Amino acid sequence: MRLSKTPVQACVLALSALAAVSAFASSHREAPSIAGMPKLDGTDFYMFRSYEPNRQDYVTLIANYQPDQGAYGGPNYYSMDPNGLYEIHIDNTGSAMEALTFQFRFTNTLRDIQLPISGKQVSIPLVQAGQISAPNQATSNLRETFTLTVVRGDRRKGQAAAVTNAANGNTVFDRPTDNIGEKTFGGPSGYAAYAAQQIYNINIPGCAAGGRVFAGQRQDPFAVALGQVFDLINLNPLGSTSAYGAGTLAKRNVSTLALEVPISCLTAGGTGPIIGGWTTASARQGRLIASPPKSGHGTTTLNGGAWAQVSRLGMPLVNEVVIGLKDKDAFNSSKPMDDGQFATYVTNPTLPALIQSLYPSAPAPTNFPRTDLVAAFLTGVDGLNKPANVKASEMLRLNTSIAPTAMASQSNLGVAGGDNAGFPNGRRPGDDVVDIELRVAMGALCVLTGANDALKVGCKPADAPAGGAAITDGALQSPSQFPAAFPYLNTPLPGAVNAAAAP
């Protein structure tokens, strides 16, 4: 890490704080309970001013779910949970409470395509009966749709209204079938063309301008050397930033919920241009399962009771290795306004000590409590993305008054690389949050604040002997790896390539 950053650039590194002390893997199977509910498991959350040409007046919100998807995951693939509630929340007052919530609900409709077999009509075992090139095509055996609702105020008691398709006023949108393979979708570019038909222009009640929505499978965008990390950090933390290429998850897909919303809509009624965001998934409190299921109806379930939140994700990497095992489920069910209960995991982080035990030449910071992490992370940074009268809480924060950076000019180190439109001022797909946060965990802010604590973070260079090291996990995250247009993530990996192209 270069030590010539301005005070603001240096200080914003610490906004990663709680996430910084994990710094290893996006939120995949991070808590005991959610490991058994993969359809509701949030993996990553992104929030940034749109940098697609002529879309600078919008914010893009991306919530990824269902980790570790093999591209060949048939015959059922990775539909969303029709009994789940997926939400993206926006706080525009700094109160740690949602002012706007976007709710996704999914429905699966079985077409039950049958074939005549020796005089009998028999249901096929696949989700497709031929090639698919358009939404709701007759060859698609399972149609997945979703509705989108915007709620103003409390997510359960606020004013709710349906988001509509700008083209026809419909309230039901199609989700593309997962990328089964190139034969099903007509060649290497076939799936991209098919999925693009399901990017919808939308009207959002209460917003003067419209937006866009997409819900579908994408290639997992998070770069991390996952196997090496969990093998007691079996990598070279001072080595090449691309030793492991794009990392383990580049071979996996995820389920994406992407929204593009006008800035004016997100900040309306708020206290300024700074917003906070996070995503959650919830399930009904009660579920009864019929045994045995009736033929032709699948497993019969009855879901009831209030919604119970089971997954939560704002800043990257928080719950996976920061929150103690006994509190992981509690964190997933909690709200930002109650984050004081987890403060010890920030003030007394374990990751720096682990790194030191494995690499004695990289001594951990000695300032406890870690005020350098707490002060910046829980409030945002003055002059960048700290809301007025902010309540300390964990979420991704974005100053919408900072202009977006064109993709070709983006730094993968975000603000630390002189690019104030990047992490931790929001988060873009190409921001290398692992490398940024590893360096902060080892005390980069203490070094950058100087002996006189110019950044007022409560530590000094002597508190962090390894704080100036350019630590890396060796998995490269770069803006050039992604498209520069909504929904900004790559087409999912196919379950199979065409036979003629196979090795």
Q: Is 489 exposed, middle or buried (0-12, 13-18, 19+ CB in 10 A)?
A: buried
Let me know if residue 335 belongs to a domain. yes
Centre a 10 Å sphere on the Cβ of residue 429 and count the other Cβ atoms it contains. Answer: 25
Q: What pLDDT is recorded for position 28?
A: 56
pLDDT number for residue 10 = 35
- Determine, yes or no, domain membership for 35: yes
**What's the confidence (pLDDT) of residue 237?**
78
For residues 211 and 264, the answer to whether their CB atoms sit within 8 Å is no
Which pTM was predicted? 0.90
The rounded distance, in Å, linking the Cα atoms of 61 and 58 is 10
Q: Residue 499 domain-assigned?
A: no
* One-letter amino acid for residue 162 of the chain: A
- Strand 120-123 vs strand 159-162: parallel, antiparallel, or unpaired? unpaired
Residue 498 falls inside a structural domain: no
Identify the residue whose tokens are 């990663």.
16
Backbone phi, psi, residue 46, to 5°: -125, 145
What does the block give as tokens for 35?
């490991």
Q: To 10 degrees, what angle do helices 351-358 and 433-441 make?
A: 80
Token pair, residue 285, equals: 């409190």
Region of residue 439 (left: phi > 0; alpha: psi -120 to 50; beta: else): alpha
Query: Would 503 be classed as within a structural domain?
Result: no
How many domains would you assign to the chain? 1
Residue-number span of the structural domain to which 51 is assigned: 7-493
Task: Please report the pLDDT score of residue 298 as a whole number.
Answer: 58
- Label residues 315-346 b or e (16+ Cβ within 10 Å = b): bbbbbbbbbeeebbbebbbbbbeebeebeebb
Using alpha carbons only, how large is the chain's radius of gyration in Å? 23
Which residues are 212's β-sheet partners? 201, 260
DSSP secondary-structure letter at 162?
A: E
Residue pLDDT tens, the chain, 503 long: 333 334 333 333 333 333 333 333 445 555 556 777 899 999 999 999 999 999 999 999 999 999 989 998 788 899 999 999 999 999 999 999 999 999 999 999 999 999 999 999 999 999 999 999 999 999 999 999 999 999 999 999 999 999 999 999 999 999 999 999 999 999 889 999 999 999 999 999 999 999 999 999 999 999 887 777 767 777 777 788 888 887 778 889 999 999 999 999 999 999 999 999 999 999 998 877 666 666 665 566 677 789 999 999 998 877 776 777 888 889 899 999 999 998 888 789 888 888 788 788 888 999 999 887 776 677 787 778 989 999 989 999 999 999 999 999 999 998 888 899 998 899 999 999 888 888 888 888 788 888 998 777 789 999 999 888 888 888 889 999 999 999 999 999 999 998 765 45
Beta strand spans in 179-296 (E): 200-203, 211-219, 253-262, 274-289
The DSSP letter of residue 9 is H
Q: What are phi and psi of 343, to 5 degrees?
A: -60, -35
The residue written with tokens 């979708």 in the block is 185
Neighbours of 1 (CB within 10 A): 23
Does the CA dihedral 450-451-454-459 come out positive or negative? positive
CB 331 within 8 A of CB 34: no
For residue 156, give the amino acid letter. R
Please give the DSSP secondary-structure letter assigned to residue 388: T
Using CA atoms, how far apart are residues 393 and 415, in angstroms rounded to an integer?
21
Residue 412: how many CA atoms within 13 Å on its side-chain side?
17
Token output for 486:
């909504």
Provide the 3-class DSSP secondary structure of residue 286: strand
Closest to 487 (Cα-Cα) out of 256, 250, 325: 256
Q: Is the Cβ–Cβ distance between 171 and 163 less than 8 Å?
A: yes
CA distances from 24 to 237, 315, 444 (A): 12, 13, 17
Only one residue has tokens 């490398």, namely 435
- Cβ atoms of 142 and 79 within 8 Å: the answer is yes
* Nearest-angstrom CA–CA distance, 46 and 428: 6
**Residues shown for the chain:** 503
